[in-house]
Amino acid sequence: MRRRDPSRRRSAARQDRVLRASRSIVLSWDQGEMLACNFLTRQVTTCSTDLVEFLSRLQDWQRIDEIIRAFQGVTADALNALVNATLLVERGSETARREEEFLSAWNWGVPAAMLHFCLQDADFVPLEDAEQLQVAKSKQVQSPALHLPNRGRFDPVIPLKDQARDDNALTDVMARRRTVRECDEAAFVGQDAIADCLYAGLGITGWTSNCVGKLPLGMTPSGGARNPFEAYLFVKRVDGLAPGIYHYSAVEHSIGLVREAEIELSDLVAGQDWAETMSCAIVLCASLERTMWKYHDGNAYRVVLIEAGHIGQNIMLAATQAGLTACPTAALSHSRIRDAIGLERITDTPVYTLTIGVPQDQVHLAA
Ligand SMILES: Cc1cc2nc3c(=O)[nH]c(=O)nc-3n(C[C@H](O)[C@H](O)[C@H](O)COP(=O)(O)O)c2cc1C
């Protein structure tokens, strides 16, 4: 039996492939150069008006051999380059699958999508580099004032009571909250303290109902009581818990083991070294579809981010009360977190992380 030439088989397969223009491309101009950004893949490619015209004529799936016949001068190699740049997508590919999921699941429009997808897995500037940049910048331009006085601007100015002399347990805890990045690398944190943090952030304290059903009410406010956040606990050293990943069920006030694992906390927060001194981390992940189900405009994306701040603050205060520090971190390794937890839906996303540890001392390292 004659064996087929594998390279011919491959090239035949190439001509069989079916492509169309990506549905997640946005155009912009930088110094006169047109740029095409695929916000789902975060790839940016220089673009010409001819290419835009070509893409606009490839809105429906077409076989490669048909495209080559229909467009003079277009080669298989050129099409492959456009597939690599994700300006074209191939039917059946992972890029096409994600795009289809985006088209069916995302109803907050392109501006919110660009903000959300383009800022995933952003590079983190290490603290030392950030300081050098600030020093260099301050030699060129002074920092804007970071607070505004009343005296000299308004009249009259009414002094308020002396908070320091107050006996107010709540504001006292609030005033003691600090981001401490140097923690005891051997210390275990108490399971009950972590329970307090989770409850303070996401605990359910009541129920209400509206025209379509029951809605949970929590420790923090939530737009439309849609409660988009779930918390995952990444454990290195917590009393009574094996290292691994746990899910907090607010409705049960329980944690469920997702899987045991050796946890590198810095892997969750874009490689920030200091996170390794922490004992555990609470990662807040939003199920955007919960909020999308009710709110159809992109402004609801802001609502979700604001809610993360409320939850984070409550977690930080509970940690402070327990003598711990909870460091807020927005520089996330989104993809790693998604893989570690097993978040698969395009609308499920890590938003905010609180790394929790036992402060070595109360020295506050300036950001
Ligand atoms: C939304 C948000 C994101 C932050 N992200 C980081 C981060 O990625 N890395 C970090 O070291 N600190 C981060 N911080 C902590 C700030 O640097 C810190 O709050 C600031 O220096 C003020 O210190 P304090 O929290 O003790 O008041 C973040 C704070 C907030 C509110």
Q: Which residues contact 34 (CB under 8 A, 6 or more apart)?
A: 27, 28, 46, 47, 48, 49, 52
d(CA 71, ligand 1 centre) in Å: 53
**CA nearest to 286, candidates 332, 239, 237:** 332
Cα–Cα distance for residue pair 355/189, rounded to 1 Å: 12
Exposed/middle/buried for residue 333 (C-beta within 10 Å: 0-12, 13-18, 19+): buried
DSSP-assigned letter for residue 297: S
Q: State both tokens at 224.
A: 């439309």
Q: What is the pLDDT of residue 186?
A: 96
Is the minimum distance from the CB of 330 to ligand 1 under 6 angstroms? yes
d(CA 144, ligand 1 centre) in Å: 19
DSSP-assigned letter for residue 28: E
Q: What is the pLDDT of residue 266?
A: 97
10 Å Cβ neighbour count for 164?
8
Is the minimum distance from the CB of 223 to ligand 1 under 6 angstroms? no
Is the minimum distance from the CB of 52 to ligand 1 under 6 angstroms? no
Cβ(275)–Cβ(183) under 8 Å?
no
- Of the residues 179, 316, 364, which should be mutated to test ligand 1's pocket, given the most ligand atoms within 8 Å of the CB? 179
Please report the domains of the chain, with CATH numbers, ordered by start residue.
7-105 (no CATH), 170-357 (3.40.109.10)
**CA nearest to 332, candidates 258, 279, 282, 260:** 282
Q: Which residues contact 43 (CB under 8 A, 6 or more apart)?
A: 37, 85, 86
Q: What is the pLDDT of residue 14?
A: 62
Q: What is the pLDDT of residue 12?
A: 45
pLDDT averaged per 10 residues in sequence order, the chain, 367 residues: 45 75 98 97 97 97 96 96 98 97 97 97 91 97 97 98 91 96 96 98 97 96 98 98 98 98 97 96 98 97 98 98 97 98 97 97 48
Q: Tokens 């740029």, residue?
A: 35
- Region of 109 (left: φ > 0; alpha: ψ -120 to 50; beta: rest) is left
Q: What is the pLDDT of residue 361?
A: 73
d(CA 282, ligand 1 centre) in Å: 15
Of all helices (H) and strands (E), which one includes residue 299? helix 299-321
Is the minimum distance from the CB of 191 to ligand 1 under 6 angstroms? no
Closest residue CA from atom 31 of ligand 1 = 328
Backbone φ and ψ of 209, nearest 5°: -140, 155
Is the minimum distance from the CB of 310 to ligand 1 under 6 angstroms? no
pTM, to two decimals: 0.93
Cβ(360)–Cβ(320) under 8 Å?
no
Question: Which residues make beta-bridge pairs with 233?
Answer: 246, 282
